[in-house]
């Protein structure tokens, strides 16, 4: 639908909203007034807005391109957003962004207004001057307010400095008094320390003399006690040596006793084995004799008798080996038993002798019990023709 008046076009509302943002007090702050670039951007936005409003107010709707005007209104939303952000956070960079966006995306559509309007009227110039005066007045008022705040702050800081100066003077006076008191106290302390040190040296020398005398007396008592203790320890040592000797004899004789018992068991086992082999051989030979006793000896049964007797002899032959083994184990058992008895009797036998005699007897018995060769295990013939066992 066609718009009969540009006052009803959305561009009018956008320009009004933009002008309201430009009239915000934050744009009159000292931060903007003291920044040349920010002040230039603010004034440019003010002038461009007034110029665009003049174009809208002075142009007929039938002489304006609706398409260009709609695009200008759409592009006007970004500067409005930038100016809103500046009012919120006071960052002057938003002013520069708004100016840049207007230069690039809004001023290029001013061709929409045909024909070009005349320069500003005196009324508009007066309004522009009044606007500049109002902004200057607001800026001056804010500067005066900041000046009053700074003056109040400086007065407070001056009072604080004076108070600190007074406290510093009091501290210096207190420090001087403390130094004088510390010097007097140190002098008194040094005098007291010298007296106490002299008394302590005297007491220490007396204590050292008393300690020396006590140590001499204690040394004599300790020496006597140590001598008695050493004598008692020597006696206990001799008793312990005798006990150890008896225990050692018991341990050695006990070992020989175990060997004798073990060898006796082996000898008995081999004896029973020998008896078993001999019994088997005799039983087979007796059975052969009984079987052929009532039969005449001829060529038919001679071979059978010979074979049976050879079997009996083969069964009885191991009995000779087992008998020798039994005799060997019996001999080892007898030797161990004899050694046990000799060692068991040695201690009581030499108990009442002197130490040199005991050592001499023990030395003479060393070759008897130690260093002897072990008899080799030899397999001898069943029948020993030499007569040696």
Residue 377 has pLDDT above 80, yes or no: no
Reported as a single tens digit per residue, the pLDDT across 97-150 is: 989 888 888 888 888 776 554 454 555 556 656 666 666 666 777 777 777 788
Per-residue model confidence (pLDDT) at position 388: 46
Per-residue model confidence (pLDDT) at position 33: 78
Residue pointed to by tokens 């060692």: 343
Two tokens, residue 194: 């010298």
Rounded mean pLDDT of 221-227? 82
Reported as a single tens digit per residue, the pLDDT across 266-321 is: 888 888 888 887 788 778 778 777 777 666 666 667 777 777 777 777 776 787 77
The residues that bridge with 64 in the sheet, in sequence order, are 113
Backbone angles phi, psi at 376, to 5 degrees: -70, 150
Per-residue model confidence (pLDDT) at position 53: 85
Per-residue model confidence (pLDDT) at position 132: 60
Comparing CA positions, the residue from 30, 32, 34 lying closest to residue 145 is 30
Per-residue model confidence (pLDDT) at position 122: 52
Give alpha helix (H) positions in the chain: 10-22, 30-33, 36-58, 66-75, 77-89, 93-105, 122-292, 299-316, 318-350, 355-369
Identify whether the C-beta of residue 105 lies closer than 8 Å to the C-beta of residue 79: no
Residue 37 has pLDDT above 80, yes or no: yes
Comparing CA positions, the residue from 110, 40, 14, 13 lying closest to residue 69 is 110
Residue 213 has pLDDT above 60, yes or no: yes
Comparing CA positions, the residue from 243, 282, 377, 280 lying closest to residue 321 is 377
- Give the residue extent of every domain in the chain: 6-118, 239-369
Per-residue model confidence (pLDDT) at position 379: 47
Identify whether the C-beta of residue 243 lies closer than 8 Å to the C-beta of residue 251: no
- Indicate the average pLDDT of the chain: 77
Comparing CA positions, the residue from 228, 305, 320, 306 lying closest to residue 273 is 320
Burial class (CB in 10 A: 0-12, 13-18, 19+), 190: exposed
- List all residues 6 or more positions away from 376 whose beta carbon is below 8 Å from its beta carbon: none
% of the chain exceeding 70 in pLDDT: 77
Enter the DSSP assignment of 113.
B
Cα–Cα distances in angstroms (integers) from residue 258 to residues 99, 153, 157, 261, 336, in the given order: 121, 114, 111, 5, 9
Enter the DSSP assignment of 117.
P
Per-residue model confidence (pLDDT) at position 125: 52
Comparing CA positions, the residue from 328, 339, 343, 334 lying closest to residue 376 is 328
Per-residue model confidence (pLDDT) at position 385: 39
| Interior angle at CA 96, CA 41 and CA 81, nearest 5 | 105
More confident residue, 121 or 159: 159
Per-residue model confidence (pLDDT) at position 260: 79
Residue 256 has pLDDT above 60, yes or no: yes
Per-residue model confidence (pLDDT) at position 117: 44
Per-residue model confidence (pLDDT) at position 386: 47
Enter the DSSP assignment of 298.
-
Rounded mean pLDDT of 14-29? 85
Comparing CA positions, the residue from 102, 88, 2 lying closest to residue 42 is 102
More confident residue, 388 or 80: 80
Reported as a single tens digit per residue, the pLDDT across 359-372 is: 777 777 666 666 56
What count of other Cβ atoms lies within 10 Å of the Cβ of residue 343? 19
Residue pointed to by tokens 């007491």: 203
Per-residue model confidence (pLDDT) at position 382: 46
Comparing CA positions, the residue from 68, 63, 60 lying closest to residue 11 is 68
Cα–Cα distances in angstroms (integers) from residue 70 to residues 10, 17, 21, 105, 229, in the given order: 8, 16, 21, 12, 125
Rounded mean pLDDT of 225-241? 78
Identify whether the C-beta of residue 73 lies closer than 8 Å to the C-beta of residue 11: yes
Burial class (CB in 10 A: 0-12, 13-18, 19+), 38: buried
The verdict on whether omega for the bond into residue 115 sits within 30 degrees of 0, i.e. cis, is yes
Residue 24 has pLDDT above 80, yes or no: yes
% of the chain exceeding 90 in pLDDT: 0
Per-residue model confidence (pLDDT) at position 367: 67
Residue 14 has pLDDT above 70, yes or no: yes
């Amino acid at each position: 639908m066609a718009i009969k008046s540009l006052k009803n076009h959305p561009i009018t509302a956008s320009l009004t909203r933009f002008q309201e943002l430009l009239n915000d007090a934050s744009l009159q702050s000292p931060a903007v007034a003291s920044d040349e670039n920010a002040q230039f951007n603010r004034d440019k936005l003010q002038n461009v807005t007034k110029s665009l409003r003049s174009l809208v107010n002075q142009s007929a709707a039938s002489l304006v391109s609706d398409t260009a005007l709609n695009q200008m209104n759409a592009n006007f939303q970004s500067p409005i957003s930038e100016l809103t952000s500046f009012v919120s956070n006071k960052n002057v960079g938003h002013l520069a962004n708004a100016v840049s966006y207007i230069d690039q995306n809004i001023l290029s559509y001013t061709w929409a207004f045909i024909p070009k309007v005349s320069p500003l009227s005196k009324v508009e110039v007066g309004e522009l001057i009044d606007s500049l005066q109002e902004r200057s007045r607001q800026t001056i008022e804010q500067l005066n307010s900041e000046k009053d705040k700074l003056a109040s702050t400086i007065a407070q800081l001056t009072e604080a400095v004076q108070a600190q100066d007074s406290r510093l003077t009091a501290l210096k006076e207190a420090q001087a008094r403390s130094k004088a008191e510390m010097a007097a106290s140190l002098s008194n302390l040094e005098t007291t320390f010298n007296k106490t040190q002299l008394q302590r040296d005297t007491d220490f020398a007396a204590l050292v003399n008393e300690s020396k005398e006590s140590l001499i007396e204690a040394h004599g008592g300790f020496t006597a006690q140590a001598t008695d203790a050493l004598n008692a320890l020597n006696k206990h040592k001799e008793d312990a040596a005798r006990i150890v000797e008896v225990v050692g004899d018991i341990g050695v004789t006990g070992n020989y006793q175990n060997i004798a018992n073990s060898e006796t068991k082996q000898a008995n086992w081999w004896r029973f084995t020998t008896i078993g082999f001999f019994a088997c051989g005799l039983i087979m030979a007796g059975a052969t004799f009984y079987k052929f006793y009532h039969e005449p000896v001829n060529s038919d049964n001679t071979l059978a008798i010979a074979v049976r007797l050879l079997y009996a002899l083969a069964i009885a032959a191991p009995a000779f080996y087992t008998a020798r083994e039994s005799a060997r184990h019996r001999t080892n058992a007898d030797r161990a038993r004899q050694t046990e008895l000799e060692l068991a009797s040695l201690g009581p036998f030499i108990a009442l002798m002197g130490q040199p005699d005991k050592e001499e007897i023990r030395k003479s018995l060393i070759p008897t019990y130690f260093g002897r060769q072990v008899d080799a295990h030899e397999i001898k013939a069943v029948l020993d023709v030499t007569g040696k066992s």
